[in-house]
Amino acid sequence: MTDQRTFLAELARQQASDADPTSQTIADALGWDFARASQLLERLENRELVKTTPSQARLGDTHLDHWVALTIEGRAAVAHNSLDEASDQTDTDLRLDRWNRVDLPVLRELARGAESDADVALVDDIAARLNLRPRDVIKSYDVLQRTGFVTATFTYDSGGEFFGIRLSERGLRETELWPTPDSALDRMIAALQAIADNTREDEDTRTRAQKVLESLRGAGREIGISVVTAALTGQIPGTQ
């Protein structure tokens, strides 16, 4: 039995017993961790086999869990054991899809918060900008934190907020806040071009800037990349 079928079968069992299933109660019953159950829930909801209802009204202000119920299609799939395995994406496809659709956009929003004067990112604001559920934002942060992209302090104030946000080198590279040798060299070329075009500079300075530009735009670009790489990494080419 696939994970999705197992999840649906347990959900049906809990509903039949007049319980109020959540992804946590299903995870507990199956011996899964919460993240695994939440990922399955997201896939099944995307396929319209289950629906979720916010639990805040009954459990207080929390985005971490929702009540879960089978849709008509979900009940039919359970009754006929007809969940189409062939329609499932591969694990690699699902991870890539989630990264591009959820995790990378959330990382960029956290980077925006880190760059702001307040150094704060609100869960509800991120969810609204990205058209995500608040609990998806929190779950995404957990993934990003565990995989070394970002750290922050999280509180439930204002519906959930991150502060003290710090992106790692890996996080900075993914959000393009960490300069690459190519981008740094391009910025240097742009600065030299501005000097060469500036009529307020003396002629000698403009001429020298133009000569350096011509070198960097020709065969000298490879050397320029090596120099910038050394400046960014602290490694002198040929010394390793």
Residue 47: both structure tokens together? 């396929």
The torsion region of residue 176 among left (phi > 0), alpha (psi -120 to 50) and beta comes to left
What pLDDT, on a 0 to 100 scale, did the predictor assign at position 132?
86
The β-bridge partners of 70 are 50
**What are the residue boundaries of the structural domains of the chain, listed by start?**
3-87, 91-174, 181-233
Domains 3-87 and 91-174 share a fold: yes
Which CATH number is 3-87 given? 1.10.10.10
Place of tokens 């020298």: 208
Residue 211: both structure tokens together? 């000569």
What pLDDT, on a 0 to 100 scale, did the predictor assign at position 210?
87
Cα pseudo-dihedral 191, 193, 199, 204, rounded to 10: 90
Fill in the amino acid letter for 204.
D
pTM as predicted: 0.45
Q: What angle do CA 49, 102, 106 make, to 5 degrees?
A: 145
CB count in 10 Å sphere of residue 14: 18
Domain 91-174 bears CATH identifier 1.10.10.10 = yes
CB count in 10 Å sphere of residue 234: 7
Q: Rounded to an integer, what distance in angstroms lies between the CA atom of residue 120 and that of residue 79? A: 47
**Beta carbons of 106 and 140 less than 8 angstroms apart:** yes
Task: Show the DSSP H helices in the chain as ranges.
Answer: 3-16, 23-30, 34-46, 56-59, 72-80, 91-98, 104-115, 123-130, 134-146, 169-174, 181-197, 203-217, 221-233
3-state SS, residue 67? strand
DSSP states of 137-176: HHHHHHHHHHTTSEEEEEE-GGG-EEEEEEE-HHHHHHTT
pLDDT in tens, the chain (240 residues): 578 888 888 998 888 887 778 888 898 999 998 888 888 888 888 888 888 876 554 444 444 567 888 887 788 778 766 555 444 444 555 456 678 888 899 999 999 998 888 889 999 999 999 988 888 898 889 889 988 899 999 888 777 899 999 999 888 878 876 666 676 777 778 888 888 888 788 888 888 888 888 877 765 677 776 776 666 556 555 544
CA of residue 64 relative to chain centroid, distance: 18
**Beta carbons of 50 and 97 less than 8 angstroms apart:** no
